[in-house]
Amino acid sequence: MTASSKITIRDFQSMKDDGEKITMISAYTFPIAKIIDKIGIDSILVGDSLGMTILGYENTLEVTIEDAIRHSQAVSRGVNRALIIGDMPFLSYGIKDKETVRNAGRLIQEGKCEAVKLEGGRERIEEIKEIKAIGIPVLGHIGLTPTYVNEFGGFKVQGKSVDAEKRLIEDAKMLEDAGAFAIVIESVPWKLGKIISQSISIPTIGIGAGQFCDGQVLVIDDIIGLTTSIKPKFVKQYADVTEVISKAVKDYKTEVKELRYPSDQYRYDD
């Protein structure tokens, strides 16, 4: 891809066809989106992980469509090139097809996203077809789907038994047939990530699904070391921003207490 052209779902497919890995990061705010876009990451997912990273919830279940729209708007203001994907939160789909389509539409119309993601395999087929029918590209998500945390009994690796593996391969094919433009595969053994990636012609985006997926996605807070809660095995931390912030805040506190800030340099004279 050239550094400046806007990324579309067609580019995702070309990258898979050409063997070029797709890069995606989950992010939620204007300044971070601006940095990510400038670096040339292909796509920003405004993930419902914002419930845990930004809002401090225990899981993603309390995130609302209003939260998702608000953060998508912030991200879109900082992005020129990356494909922006809005994550549909729990209860914004899965109840009535019409409501699902309206919520997907709101992420496009109000949130300024260019595609939406929703979790689930065979259960989502009709909804995906309905969303796609009004021109909204859909990213699927299978494996460890966080809104199913209570059903799974925690954030656990999926697809470990022969039956579970077979079911996930079938789900991926069904999502492809329903018209998804790509599929996120989360927390499955790498061999299964490879089999799924080779079994379908649309791109797979892995998160804890090994190196043979067509692309990778990670949460920005995990990459930069801002996450304080669970740290899954697949997370590679590239920086320690918690350390940087702690030092800055500590230095500020000390200087105020010791009357060193604000010094003459930081005051108005007239």
The answer to the question of residue 52 lying near ligand KIV (CB under 6 A) is no
- Of 184-203, binders to ligand KIV (CB under 6 A) are 184, 186
Decide whether 63 or 101 has the Cβ nearer to ligand KIV.
63
- Interaction between residue 207 and ligand KIV (CB under 6 A): yes
Nearer to ligand KIV, 52 or 200 (CB): 52
How does strand 22-26 pair with strand 215-219? parallel
The CA distance from 170 to 230, in Å, is 30
State the catalytic residue, choosing from 114, 119, 165, 186. 186
Minimum distance, C-beta of residue 63 to ligand KIV, in the bound complex (Å): 9
Give 51's contacts (C-beta < 8 A, 6+ positions apart).
57, 59, 60, 61, 62, 63, 67, 89
In single-letter form, the type of residue at position 253 comes to K
> Is 62 marked active-site?
no
DSSP letter at 202 equals: S
Side chain identity at residue 153, one-letter code: G
With contact defined as beta carbons under 8 Å apart, do 215 and 202 qualify? no
45 binds ligand KIV (CB under 6 A): yes
Using CB under 6 A, which of 9, 101, 219, 226 touches ligand KIV?
219
What's the min distance (Å) between Cβ of 180 and ligand KIV? 14
Rounded distance, CA 216 to CA 207, Å? 6
Identify which of residues 100 and 147 has a Cβ nearer to ligand KIV in the complex. 147
* Angle subtended by helix axes 162-178 and 190-199, to nearest 10: 30
> In angstroms, rounded to a whole number, what is the distance separating the alpha carbons of residues 75 and 44?
8
Find the binding residues for ligand KIV in span 59-118 (CB under 6 A): 87
Q: Minimum distance from CB of 148 to ligand KIV (Å)?
A: 12
Catalytic residue positions, numbered: 186
Binding footprint of ligand KIV on the chain (CB under 6 A) = 26, 45, 47-49, 87, 184, 186, 207, 217, 219
